[in-house]
């Protein structure tokens, strides 16, 4: 009895696999829009990538600007700008045409951050290196 049950189940599973309907135009997966094309690579020259601010009083906000030049033949596209902590906010610039200068702006909030601070900003762009570290140092003097 067990052999007959097994044969019936086995035969049924083979039959069900052979009765799969053929895909029609309506049932095929469709891609909407065009696939994303990665931007072409270019080159970048940083005019300043390291900053030493000096001394500031706790609670001050300082604005930093890091300048660069697109030295390649394609538009330079900064894909993202990531900061090392929540005390710094950085902006992603618009695409920069070949031969033109661009900049990354950042604001550091020293509230609650007394002492020597070493912070970094990572820039991701359509260049061979892809990731560029920007840094700054600042001495935050505690409020009295």
- Domain parsing of the chain, residue ranges: 44-141
pLDDT value of position 33: 52
Q: What tens digit of pLDDT does each residue of 122-142 get?
A: 999 999 888 999 999 999 999
The pair of three-digit structure tokens given for residue 22, joined into one six-digit string: 């053929």
Q: What tens digit of pLDDT does each residue of 58-95 get?
A: 999 999 999 999 999 999 999 999 999 999 999 999 99
The structure's pTM equals 0.72
Burial 16-44 (b: 16+ CB within 10 A, else e): eeeeeeeeeeeeeeeeeeeeeeeeeebbb
What CATH number has the domain spanning 44-141? 2.60.40.10
The β-bridge partners of 115 are 140
């Amino acid at each position: 009895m067990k052999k007959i049950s097994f044969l019936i189940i086995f035969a049924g599973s083979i039959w069900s696999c052979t009765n799969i309907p053929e895909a029609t135009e309506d049932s095929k997966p469709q891609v909407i829009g065009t696939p994303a094309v990665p931007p072409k690579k270019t080159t970048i020259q940083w005019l300043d990538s390291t900053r030493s601010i000096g001394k500031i009083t706790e609670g001050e906000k300082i604005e930093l600007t890091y300048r660069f030049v697109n030295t390649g033949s394609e538009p330079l596209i900064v894909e993202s700008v990531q900061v090392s902590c929540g005390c710094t906010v950085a902006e992603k610039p618009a695409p920069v045409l070949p031969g033109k200068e661009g900049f990354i702006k950042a604001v550091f909030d020293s509230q609650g951050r007394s002492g020597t601070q070493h912070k970094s900003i990572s820039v991701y762009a359509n260049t061979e290196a892809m990731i560029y570290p920007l840094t700054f140092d600042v001495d935050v003097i505690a409020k009295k």
